[in-house]
Amino acid sequence: MKIHIKHMVSQRCIKVVENALDTSGILYKCVNLGEVELLEPELFESKKENLNKILLECGLELLYEKRMTTVEKIKNCIIEMVHNSNELPKIKLSIYLSKKLNLNYTYLSNLFKEVTGMTIQHFIVLHKIEKAKELILYNELTLNEITHQLQYSSVAHLSTQFKQVTGITPSHFKKVKTFKNRVFLEQIELNNLRLA
């Protein structure tokens, strides 16, 4: 049996969930982004309220509704794709998500918009810009290399979206070089950032 957890977006979250499971006495096979495979599902029912209480204290939450679980899977795929790989897939993102989740993209897109109030594309842009901020701060890649890695058509395209999301250009961001402008992955959608 698999259970799903909301706002689980990083390796740190995986460790938090593992500790919560251990504390609750719930045996598990593995923990991945947004998902836990249980060893003894029958014991989970009696311990899930305690687990959820521990998770809520850490900013995480058990997901019960299938639609919410699917939305969390979409988010986790995007976060993994943008933040945990060196290069975005060469195929269209709609095809990538459909294959990864084994669901029709139109269904995924409509569901995501209905549940979150934003489009999948907007969510991807927010995460790509956050990744661009990270790469700019590390100062290991040129803006051209960042543009290529994040699969923007040009530096101008990246700069336009960067300014729409952050209010400043990548060049200005590079000059101020401050980590306080970074956003926790879990907070990206909650910050109510809007593209013009």
Helix 66-83 crosses helix 120-138 at what angle (to 10 degrees)?
A: 30
Separation between Cα atoms, residue 192 and residue 136, nearest integer Å: 23
pTM greater than 0.75 (yes/no)? no
CATH 1.10.10.60 assigned to domain 67-196? The reply is yes
Amino acid at residue number 23: T
Report residue 122's pLDDT band, with 50, 70 and 90 as the boundaries.
very high
Separation between Cα atoms, residue 3 and residue 28, nearest integer Å: 10
Q: What is the CATH number of domain 2-64?
A: 3.30.70
pLDDT of residue 185: 56
Burial tier of 65 (Cβ tally within 10 Å: 0-12, 13-18, 19+): exposed
DSSP 8-state secondary structure symbol assigned to residue 169: -
Please tell me which residue, 88 or 118, carries the higher pLDDT value.
118
DSSP 8-state secondary structure symbol assigned to residue 85: S
Chain segment 12-52, per-residue pLDDT in tens: 889 999 999 999 999 999 998 888 888 887 777 788 888 98
Chain segment 129-138, per-residue pLDDT in tens: 999 999 998 8
Ordered by start, the domain boundaries in the chain are 2-64, 67-196
